Amino acid sequence: MRIHLGWGSNLGDRYAAWARARESLGCGGARVVRESSIWRTEPVGLRDQPWFLNGAVEVESDLTPWQLLRLAKSIEVSLGRLPGPRNAPRPLDIDILLMGETVLRTPDLAIPHPRLHERRFALAPLAEIAPRAVHPVFKLTVRELLRRCPDTSEARSVGRAESDGNPPRR
């Protein structure tokens, strides 16, 4: 199954954290098949914190939603993420944005991501790699969701990270 994940980081070596997470996804059964450029994004919610680097990936996997959630959370913890308030600074956050036509709502897991349509920092990188993917609840493409997104915070592509984890060249 093709699955779309979003990631964000605003603490530590953000490029290296994402490089390690990408490798861990593959080792955990979620092979990355497409990846967005890296986006520099303004914090949303808690504004008094460093800006984020965000991106999106398309993975191919036979993992269940719960297995994928466990994999994502274990990667976050391995990179130093600690429990804390929503929107707080973090070394890495991985979200399941879309999982095909899956619609799942539980207290611990919601697919598609319940705030995807409100988040430019998630939609912009996702639109780069999957503009025609359809949100299974709203029945709109990712491109259309981005066009209608009420979030006016800044999200700017800054290129791709080098394979050694260094920042992209300008």
Residue of 22, 3, 29, 51 whose CA lies nearest to 160: 22
Q: The dihedral of CA 52, 16, 73, 112: what is its sign?
A: positive
Query: 116: buried, middle or exposed (CB in 10 Å: 19+, 13-18, 0-12)?
Result: buried
Q: CB neighbours of 169 closer than 8 A, spacing ≥ 6?
A: 159, 162
Catalytic residue positions?
A: 81, 90, 93, 95
- Tokens of residue 165, six digits: 């984890």
Give, to the nearest 10 degrees, the angle between helix 65-78 and helix 14-27.
140
Helix and strand tally (H, E) in the chain? 4, 8
Amino acid, single-letter form, for residue 167: P
